[in-house]
Chains A and B, each alone.
Chain A
Amino acid sequence: MTGIVEFDASEQSASPVATDTEPGGSAENTGPRRESAEEASVAAAPVSSVAAAFAAPAHMTWTRVSPRLAWYRRLLLLAPALPVVVLGGAVVGLWWSWQWAGALAGLVALVVAVSWLAARSEARAWGYAEGHTDLYLTYGVIVRQLIVVPYGRMQVVDVTSNLLEQVLGIATVRVRTAATTVDPRIPGLRFDDAVVLRDRLATRSETFSTGL
């Protein structure tokens, strides 16, 4: 029982961090606010069963990740797209005709444009909520997913941040359990938040720990 009391205390101290995800830029603050507006509408009118099924657990809201995740995805997309357009366009243009080069550029531009828009909603789909005994996690636009990871089942909690993520100041918190069929992770957290979240999850995983 003491463990739960402890956990409540840590939750209190942690909550400012969790809500204050994006202090910089007014545009970036729309994420959590939009969510609360949605919650209000949930209370007011009946929503679709899909939204209800993927809603945050009772008395909680999804903590959304940083919108920089969308930029991360876009940059990751541009990195191969630009050389394809420039080099591939030059090769096609010189060997065949510049019309085909234009077509290639147009095709790549279309793919980039679609993914550019998709990246936004993809980043918004990510969300997590820290329940009393479990971590709730949701993501996915096309295939929507909800993952419940009990704190006691977490074996390793780590933070990774590759070069591009470091430039954008974001990181991924990855949780490992004994089940290898799932890869619970939260990308696009601000680096400091990610470290705090990792420590919090690690502490709780110890509090709730049980044998395999």
Chain B
Amino acid sequence: MHWSTVPFQVLLFTVVFLALPGVMLMQFGAIVFVSIMSVAALGATGYAVLSWSRSFFELNEDHLIVHTGLVRQLSREIPLSRLQAVDVVRPLLMQILGLAELRVELAGGDSGEIRLRYLSHGTAERLRASLLAHAAGLSGRTPEAPEWPFYRLPFGLLLGALTFRVPVLSAFALLVALLVAGYMFRELGVLGGAVPLLLGLIRGFHGPLLRYTDFYSSLSPDGLRLRYGIFQARMQTVPPGRVQAVRIVEPMLWRVLGVARVEANVAGYVGERQMDSSTLLPVAPRRTAFALVNELFPGTDAARVALHRAARGRSGNEAVGTDGGLVVTSHGTFTRVVEIVPEARVQTVRLTAGPLSRWRGIATVHVDTPPGPIRAHAAGRDIGEARRIVDGIAERGQGARMSGTGPERWATRSERPGPPS
């Protein structure tokens, strides 16, 4: 850990102490106040120094060992073969101080995350590189893997795409209408509606805008690297084979622009982090989005998979295709969503039919993957066809899993897992 956390913690504790019981202590005179404050500050310093000296981590062959805590000591040993993603996060204050937080995502629910807080930025970057090198099966002294640029999001496109959405435009129109009405009728009551609307607009618009400013993604042997954000700079690395499923979302107006958003299921990103980290491309041309999917699932071509429309007309353009090692479903009349799951990554396949669907002779096929924004399913299939889809996925899935060597130690393998023959 970085030494600068110590004065930082002391300062924080002293300020909090001053604000809460400190104000009351002022009544007892300056001498009592100063002495008690200095005792508190000294105590905080001692505690911070001790806990700092006790918290450390080591990298040992295939394991990352993290020790933390003074009163309640905790030591975790993490096998790097389970590593799902590595993120370096730097909020504004940390950027000023030159610090960074390293998050190691593991598949294991909400607690399956290791946070190494307050490393110096250089250390965090080096540690990230060597963690990935170890996980790839190389020695820790391997220099950082080279990368080649994949996509840089121009600010204009981000701004335009974020504005050009039905909820944003309609909220903005409503806001303008409210303000005009309020001005014309000299009625302050409209503020009751306008202010929440404005706050909602700021939240829905500014949030993503600030998050994804300066978005840059690149490909490397370590996997997909994403860098984005100004006030909270983040760098995500998703190793190859750790993306379980992908979806390409095209909101109605974005289809006019020909842009889409790419989201993914990564086993470590659950709960709160799912919202944070599961977006791989916030705004990108449709072709780039599909190109990324092809990079993530090498040897496949998602755009080429032939989609078959649902047999009976259901609202929403339901379609499914199973081809070339991928299961691709698409639905949505207005917002078009294409969900892509490689057959090798499928966990379970389900066929469900309620009483009404049975009467109509249709069923739904669900393809389950580790939790994330994508829950691939194809509704409204003819019931016999649905069973054939299920059996087909189950049958080919076994072959696909067997031909791939698994995602561990990806660098020392002779070749990447190819498409199932």
Residues of chain B at the chain A interface (Cβ within 8 Å): 81-82, 84, 107, 241, 244, 267, 346-355, 358, 361, 363, 366, 368-371, 375, 383-384, 386-387, 390-391, 393-394, 397-398, 401-402, 404, 406-408
Contact = CB atoms under 8 A, between A and B. Distances in A.
A54 B351 contact: yes
B361 A148 contact: no
Given A134-B398, A146-B390, A50 B383 contact: yes
Contact of B368 (A133, A140, A143, A179): A179
Contacts, number: 111
9 contacts: A54-B387, A133-B398, A144-B358, A148-B350, A148-B394, A177-B348, A178-B347, A210-B401, A211-B81
3 tightest Cβ-Cβ pairs between the two chains A and B: A211-B406, A179-B368, A179-B347
Given A145-B350, A153-B347, A179-B370, 10 more contacts: A49-B361, A49-B384, A52-B387, A53-B387, A54-B351, A146-B387, A148-B390, A177-B368, A212-B84, A212-B244
A163 interface: no
Decide if the interface of chain A is mainly helix, strand, loop or mixed. loop
A34 B371 CA distance: 39
Contacts of B370: 178-180, 212
Contacts of A148: 348-350, 390, 393-394
Which has the most chain A C-beta neighbours within 10 Å: B107, B244, B383?
A: B383
A131 B398 CA distance: 12
B350 A147 contact: yes
A12 interface: no
A180 B406 contact: no
B397 A49 contact: no
Contacts of B361: 49-50
Interface of A: 49-50, 52-54, 57, 131, 133-134, 140, 142-150, 152-153, 177-182, 184, 208, 210-212
A53 B407 contact: no
Given A134-B394, A210-B404, A181 B353 contact: no
Given A50-B383, A181-B375, A150 B397 contact: yes
Given A53-B387, A148-B394, A180-B371, A143 B349 contact: no
Given A50-B361, A211-B408, A212-B267, A152 B371 contact: no
Which has the most chain A C-beta neighbours within 10 Å: B352, B398, B402, B404?
A: B398
Contact of B384 (A52, A143, A179, A212): A52
Contacts of B349: 147-148
A146 B351 CA distance: 5
A155 to B, nearest CB: 9
B406 A210 contact: yes
